[in-house]
Structure 1
Amino acid sequence: MNKIGCVFLMLTVLAFAGAGCQDKVILATKARVEFKNTVEGNFFFIPEGSTAGYPKIEPDSLGNYVYEVDLKEPGYFRYVGVNNNFYLVYLTPGARMEIQEGTDGVVFAGDHAAENMFLSKNVYLGAAPRDIPLYSAEWVRMNTEELNRLIKNLETSGLNPDFIRLQALKYHCDFYLQRLNGPTNTAMFAPQLKIELADDFYDFMKEVNFGDSSLVQIPKWFNMILGTFKQMERRGWIEVSPDKYMEIYAKRIKNEKVRSMFLVELLNFTLQKGFSDDFPVYLEGVRPYITHPEALKALPALETRYRESRETHKTILRGQVAPEFKAVDVKGKEYTSADFKGKVQVLDFWFTGCVPCRAEMPYMEKLADDMKGENIVFISMSVDTGDELMALWRKMVKDKKGAELQLNVPGGFKSDLVKKYLIHGVPRIVIVDEEGKIVDANAKRPSDPKLRMQLEQLVK
């Protein structure tokens, strides 16, 4: 490994190892933020990393602008000001804080005023000059230097030691997330930017064991850990197993709290994505690894949600007869499910405006090409409707030469087929066996090597 890689690996291991860290138990206490803006306009305050949108702060019955939240431990929030500037905000249980935005910017008062002013002036952006290729060795070197500069500023700031420790961890995690997700996000949202990664680009994650209990206070901590394991699977650094992958992940996480909370979030994430016939198998497999009291309390609610989801999805459980379909290719030729009788069918539901769908397409096309000749058919099921989207669909698929069959479902999201499969979002992968029965109505995405393994086992 080169010198830059060694430096970064040392930093991440230190950040995630948490040697000597004690897991403190703090009772939930309400924190309060009052806004004293002198400029008019909408502003927002949300947990950092939230994907729930930006509900604006509204005045209470007395005309005061206040945000209150119950906290069990210190955490991060985001203030989006009247002028659309973003500010990271540090809060602790019971804190009382004021944020005032004026024509000259934002001023923090009350608890943690000094910490939050520090954050406003010491932001990690993961940037580099335009002449430095994204995620190149030079980019890594420059960002490592920036990380070290910010942490030196932090350590010599004279601020609260607990804040210094947590913020140092956050800086490391921010850099880690840039390296973990940056190339994929760039390919998805800015494909015109050609990125060439060195063979050892992801080596920084090989030795990370997520051993610091404070990780669960860092925004996007769950996505960071899950993304790490998925990347490890793609690169063959950990075992790939369609039914035991949660147990494999659990064994890699050394800290009890992080491991327990991660597994609960992973089970929750599985339910959020849609019904999974394998949820009981996943739960029983990881139950011995969920030992932290806070995580144990969440299990009964997850089991209840699974039972409710099973009832909702009872028509598309494993073993049910798959709904029949009719779909057409770009030339208008009609195909039905009867045309593929006796073959395993992989149905890939998507539409042209779905960025994640388009990002998955190369993986599905490669999978279809690799399994050509097996007793399996890969069918791209576009749910585009309307003249404009249909024209775009035809343009996208007319020159595709791979093994995947390109079809469109008349009626799209309003079609009987989509309704019968209870599809509310895409991409959605459905697997049907040779007998026309459902194997998995909410299968893994094609970028996930667990889908390939599941299909290879099915056609043996």
Structure 2
Amino acid sequence: MDFKKILLLLVTIGMLFFLVSGCACMTEPPEEIGRAGSQSGGGSAEGSSSSPAIPAPEFTLNSLDGREVSLSDFRGKVVVLNFWATWCGTCRAEMPNLERAYQAYKDKNVELVGISMDTDTQLVESFVKEVGVTYTILLDPSHRVASDYAIWALPSTYIVDEKGMIVGSEIGQLAESMLKNMLDQALEE
């Protein structure tokens, strides 16, 4: 193999790794969403206490079983909104942590909602069954809700308090311990 072919192969492998790892940028986040919780580019639960809470954009999406589900259906609960896709390697790695957190907090006035960016519902269904996810999965194939939440990388997670205010966020894979800290903080407020 000559040098150009080897270089092309290495560049192609690098690009594929980047895409599979979940680093898919979509757009720059608007300033007001970026201020809620952690700052864009990754942040921490500690950042949520110093940033002003802003109202979470209302939405209605279909669930995997075809029901229409709105954010307002969960008013009075702390809601974890996790934007993900089956093609996002980091999202796939994060889901067991989310499921464990859901099991630990579902009886504590917390709802976990996964919002899939996929266009293939059957692919989402089979993946959710394979991983054993039991929390609510909603479908956003047009990325309308993702746009409203200024999602520019996957996975992205927002914590919405009982009053519908965004009180925390994280871009990238969320460690189970960090999610638990964010939820404990939201439940205390």
TM-score (norm 2): 0.71
Partner of 2:32: none
For residue 374 of structure 1, report the CA deviation from its aligned partner. Answer: 0.6
d(CA) in 1 for partners of 2:56, 2:134: 23
Answering whether residue 178 of structure 2 is matched by residue 450 of structure 1, we say yes
Partner of 2:26: none
Answering whether residue 78 of structure 2 is matched by residue 344 of structure 1, we say yes
Q: Count residues in correspondence.
A: 161
| Native 8 Å contact 1:446 1:452 kept in 2 | no
- The runs of at least 4 aligned residues of structure 1 exceeding 3 Å deviation read 274-277, 398-403, 443-446
What is the one-letter code of the residue matched to 1:278?
A: G
For residue 445 of structure 1, report the CA deviation from its aligned partner. Answer: 3.8
User: Counterpart of 1:324 in 2: which secondary structure?
Assistant: coil
Matches for 1:43-442 after TM superposition, within 5 Å: 44=7, 54=11, 273-274=41-42, 278=47, 318-385=52-119, 389-398=120-129, 403-411=134-142, 413=143, 415=144, 417-442=145-170
d(CA) in 1 for partners of 2:75, 2:147: 22
What is the one-letter code of the residue matched to 2:61?
A: A
| Structure 1 residues 365 and 443, CA gap change in structure 2 (3 angstroms) | same
d(CA) in 1 for partners of 2:181, 2:42: 21
User: Counterpart of 1:379 in 2: which secondary structure?
Assistant: strand
**Structure 2 unpaired stretches of 5+:** 13-19, 22-37
| Native 8 Å contact 1:357 1:426 kept in 2 | yes
Note the alpha carbon deviations across 1:82-102, whole angstroms, 9 max, x for none: xxxxxxxxxxxxxxxxxxxxx
| Native 8 Å contact 1:432 1:440 kept in 2 | yes
d(CA) in 1 for partners of 2:152, 2:93: 19
d(CA) in 1 for partners of 2:125, 2:167: 30
Partner of 1:218: none
| Structure 1 residues 371 and 40, CA gap change in structure 2 (3 angstroms) | closer
d(CA) in 2 for partners of 1:376, 1:345: 6
| Native 8 Å contact 1:444 1:450 kept in 2 | no
**Structure 1 unpaired stretches of 5+:** 1-38, 45-52, 56-187, 190-269, 282-316
RMSD: 3.3
| Native 8 Å contact 1:348 1:381 kept in 2 | yes
| Structure 1 residues 455 and 445, CA gap change in structure 2 (3 angstroms) | farther
Note the alpha carbon deviations across 1:194-247, whole angstroms, 9 max, x for none: xxxxxxxxxxxxxxxxxxxxxxxxxxxxxxxxxxxxxxxxxxxxxxxxxxxxxx
| Native 8 Å contact 2:42 2:171 kept in 1 | no
d(CA) in 2 for partners of 1:431, 1:329: 20
Note the alpha carbon deviations across 1:263-296, whole angstroms, 9 max, x for none: xxxxxxx8672577829x7xxxxxxxxxxxxxxx
| Native 8 Å contact 2:40 2:171 kept in 1 | no
State the percentage of identical aligned residues. Answer: 31
d(CA) in 2 for partners of 1:40, 1:343: 60
What is the one-letter code of the residue matched to 1:273?
A: G
| Structure 1 residues 324 and 349, CA gap change in structure 2 (3 angstroms) | same
